[in-house]
Chain A
Amino acid sequence: MENSALNIVVLVKYVPDAQFDRQLSGAAHALDRSESILSELDEYALEAALALTDARGGVKGGNTVTALTVGPASAAVAVKKSLQIGATQGLHVCDDALAGSDAWATSLVLAAAIKSLGPVDMVITGMASTDGETSIVPAQLSARLGLPQITFASALEVDGNTVTARRDGDEFSEEIQATLPALVSVTDQANDPRYPNFKGILAAKKKKVTTVSLTDLGISADAVGHAGSLTKVTAAAERPARTAGTIITDAGDAGIQLVDFLAAAKLI
């Protein structure tokens, strides 16, 4: 099988920066999305797509990497960063009705957006978003698209139209294989993501970003967001911040003091 050009969709999410305090508020316990960035785990998905398409001649070879995001107007930042890193084009599903969508609603919108692009060879995602952290959207999306699911790939190869991945579980390391088209999620072990360079930042300004609404995708507003989600958060509480306890500097007996601490806590 020859290595023909690939049409790849990469999911990118705009998430609150974990370096800052993250807050829930309001009756629906919604996440405050100011101070957001491209989810760092999505950079591994983008790198996987760029490495595969680079190996087949990049844009000149007819390959396409589409960065797809679902979210408010501000989420365009995630697409822009992806274009600077090297994605070919962007697709942004932008609609106020999306706020509060759970995995079920998010995967519904993603599936419709991907179908709107016509036939694709691969959908590549990160292993989790750094805000929701559930890791289940890739599985739900592959079920909705009827694509083979190869998730948590810590190594990835595509030869012809055969994709082979390594999935490292607790008991086994498995080799998984599928024929394209397929959906793949990659872990942070899969590669070393590239950074945007000056040339990439300039080139991104000329790249095409298509913005679509739920209506454009044929999805009713009450099928998504808080209204359409099949789960709801009924209570939320911020865990009291941990505070520093006793800090000592070793003066030759710190190991013994450690044992004293464990004994006092009845742990030995």
Chain B
Amino acid sequence: MSAIVVYIDQLDAPGKLSTTVRQLLTLARGAGEPVAVVAGPVAADVLADLGVYGVTRVLYSEQAELGQYLVAPKADLLAQAAAAVSASAVLVDNGAAGKEIAARTAVALNAGVITDAVSVTYDGGTLVAHKSILAGSWTVQAQAVSAVSVISVKAHSVEAGAAAEATSPAVEAVDVAFAPASLGARVVSRTPRAASGRPELEDARIIVAGGRGVDGDFSPIEELADVLGAAVGASRAATDAGWISHASQVGQTGKKVSPQLYISVGISGAIQQKAGMQTSKLIVAVNKDSESPIFEIADFGIVGDLFKVLPQAVEEIKKRRA
């Protein structure tokens, strides 16, 4: 069986495996021999967890450069480790950095790279990536035609599952030879972004998003989100106005989400917004303008004042739960 490498970052949040990494390990085990490549330390708990997912080998590096420079040193590690184990495929999470690590690794390995996979299937020796393109209006299957495939995979590609039998992975340190230009873009400072305590947009089952119509006041959006256990999103108009962090933006230049339910509030629904949310399972829209294009794609639409409709819904949910 050929080695399928999963990239694991242990620099920012060491000591545990993320949900997405658990999903990638599950995918890798279904297609070959799962090998973990870790940037940062391999804590005992992490190693035990890797064994739970059937990982046979762990290659890691704690070289300081991995955290001191943007993206490129991590790609050097991943490419060199993947070559060392003769990997047939490399799986990386689809975050902004993950995609770029995948991209650079692919150049180093002369490999085809596919991003934004929503699922990966195994077809007689080839990994096939499934993805949405053109703002969610098409779905395609794609595969690499090179000896190695590099795929960046979105969250929820598969349900993470433990191996039938846990393994005791062999752990090897890698001495990465960094390319000179990989040590060119230095991370001078880092400011943690404030945590909202709500689910992350990409992980959320329900998202309540606000736009221009909230007119600076996100409290009705937040109250409905909290009673539903939902994440809070926003249109670009709302983030550009400074009403909410840019990290909350859903759309062409923000997050692309596919929750079970997307409640769009005070958002007109231009193509740039639709690009980020039209693959949601159900869409509910609240907007005072009955001509808003959002109503063309809403499963349930309310033409009305969000400052009346949302508080009424919050009260009703609380009443029914009481």
Contact = CB atoms under 8 A, between A and B. Distances in A.
Question: Does B bind A?
Answer: yes
Interface of A: 18-19, 21-22, 24, 29, 31, 41, 102-104, 107, 127-128, 130-140, 142-152, 154, 164, 167-179, 182, 187-189, 229-239, 242-250, 253-259, 261-263, 265, 267-268
B99 A135 contact: yes
A146 B181 contact: yes
A102 to B, nearest CB: 7
Interface in B40-57: none
Contact of A152 (B12, B96, B136, B283): B96
B100 A22 contact: no
A268 B278 contact: no
A132 B103 CA distance: 14
B301 interface: yes
A268 B282 contact: no
A150 B103 CA distance: 14
A169 B313 contact: no
A170 B201 CA distance: 10
Pick from A132, A149, A253 the residue with the most CB of B within 10 Å. Answer: A149
B19 interface: no
B188 A170 contact: no
Contacts of B141: 233-236
Contact of B271 (A18, A133, A152, A164): A18
Contacts of B295: 244, 247
A245 B70 contact: no
Contact of B308 (A229, A230, A238, A250): A250
B284 A22 contact: no
B177 interface: no
A232 B20 CA distance: 25
A254 B263 CA distance: 14
Contacts of B188: 164, 174-177
5 contacts: A131-B134, A135-B99, A168-B247, A173-B193, A177-B188
Contacts of A174: 70, 187-191
Nearest to B189: A175
A232 B128 CA distance: 10
Contacts of B314: 255
Contacts of B112: 102, 104, 229-231
Interface of B: 12, 70-72, 75, 95-97, 99-100, 102-104, 106-108, 110-116, 128, 132-146, 179-181, 184-193, 200, 206, 228, 236, 246-247, 252-253, 260-261, 271-272, 275, 278-279, 282-284, 286, 290, 295-305, 308-317, 320
Contact of B185 (A136, A149, A232): A149
Contacts of A263: 320
Nearest to A185: B100
Nearest to B313: A255
B181 A136 contact: no
A131 B200 CA distance: 26
Contacts of B111: 104, 230
A149 B186 CA distance: 10
Contacts of A244: 295-298, 301
Contacts of B290: 247, 249
A245 B260 contact: no
Given A136-B102, A139-B103, A148-B185, A236 B140 contact: yes
A84 B269 CA distance: 31
B138 A239 contact: yes
Nearest to B71: A149
A150 B72 CA distance: 10
A133 B115 CA distance: 9
A104 B304 contact: no
A147 to B, nearest CB: 6
Contacts of B253: 41, 127-128, 187-188
